[in-house]
């Protein structure tokens, strides 16, 4: 089983810790994780244009059984990723730090929305039921 993690992208990879924590929880549940915000920096992926980035993003999403969107920080790309997953019939789990705002559209396409204080709160989720 594969899970795509959508999270706001930063060139300086300032959210590395949160990406690693989310990946760790999913991997402990048996998922192989794909996260372009991480993989661009750690797997020597060379992205030469925004068109190439979106093509790769859609290919990776199509290869997954679950899409996890962390909306603690908003980003247009996250909505695009979620919308694409929904159009392809891939379940979407939206997670966010408690107090974050979730748009009605993302709420409408997510199988479940979970707010957390710390990523450890996600360890009790049965991701296979999403």
In a structure prediction context, what are the per-residue pLDDT tens digits for the chain, which is 130 residues long? 999 999 998 888 889 999 999 999 999 999 999 998 888 766 566 676 788 889 999 999 999 999 999 999 988 899 999 999 999 999 999 999 999 999 999 999 999 999 999 988 888 887 767 6
The domain made up of 2-106 is a member of CATH 3.60.70.12 = no
User: Taking the domains of the chain in order of start, what are their residue ranges?
Assistant: 2-106
Buried b (16+ CB within 10 A) or exposed e, 110-120: beebeebeebe
pTM for this model (two decimals) = 0.91
Q: How far is CA 127 from the centre of its chain?
A: 13
């Amino acid at each position: 089983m594969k899970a795509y993690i959508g999270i706001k992208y930063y060139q300086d990879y300032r959210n590395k810790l949160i990406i690693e924590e989310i990946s760790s929880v999913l991997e402990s549940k048996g998922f192989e994780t794909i996260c372009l915000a991480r993989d661009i920096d750690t797997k020597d992926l060379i992205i030469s244009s925004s068109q190439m980035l979106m093509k790769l993003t859609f290919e990776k999403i199509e290869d997954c059984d679950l899409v996890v969107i962390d909306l603690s920080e908003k980003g247009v790309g996250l909505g695009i990723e979620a919308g694409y997953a929904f159009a392809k019939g891939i379940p979407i789990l939206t997670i966010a730090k408690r107090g974050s705002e979730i748009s009605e559209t993302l709420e409408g396409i997510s199988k479940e929305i979970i707010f957390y204080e710390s990523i450890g709160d996600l360890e009790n989720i049965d991701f296979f039921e999403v």
